[in-house]
Structure 1
Amino acid sequence: MSTLEPLQQRLEALEIKAAYADDLLEELNLTIYKQQQQIDRLLHLVKDLQQRMPETGGVAPGARDELPPHY
């Protein structure tokens, strides 16, 4: 066994770890990108719903003042 073999094995192990880390980083970046797209779509939907809602906060005008049928 030469003195370079342990060094070569350590180098190969580091290269393998670096390759796995690069793959994981790419996968995480893609996940974050997809989540941001979903967040943007949801924010757009919320804004659209807020614009459609009356100023009463989503309750029909007069509905707060009406007594339930059992009274």
Structure 2
Amino acid sequence: MSALEQRLEDLETKVSFLELANQELSDLLYDQQQQIDKHFHDLARQLRRLYENQVSDDQVDERPPHY
């Protein structure tokens, strides 16, 4: 095998590893984004529940209109 063929084979091998690493990183990034989205929706739901409880607590503390 000539030096040029060896260099070409080495480059092809490196490209293959880089493509694999790129795909793994892409998959990892996708999974992390899914987790972030889930946490965001969970937080939004909890904040909405907290706000609803706060509003209902404020209404309980109000004096009736006949006072």
TM-score under structure 2 length normalisation: 0.75
Q: Give the superposed CA RMSD.
A: 1.8
Greater helix content:
2
Superposition deviation, residue 3 in structure 1: 2.1
Q: Which has the higher contact order (CA 8 A, sep 6+)?
A: 1
After superposition, residues 1-71 of structure 1 pair within 5 angstroms as: 1=1, 2-54=6-58
Unaligned runs of 5+ in 1: 59-71
Unaligned runs of 5+ in 2: 62-67
Give the count of matched residue pairs: 56
Identity of aligned residues (%): 25
> Where does structure 1 differ by over 4 angstroms across 4 or more consecutive aligned residues?
none
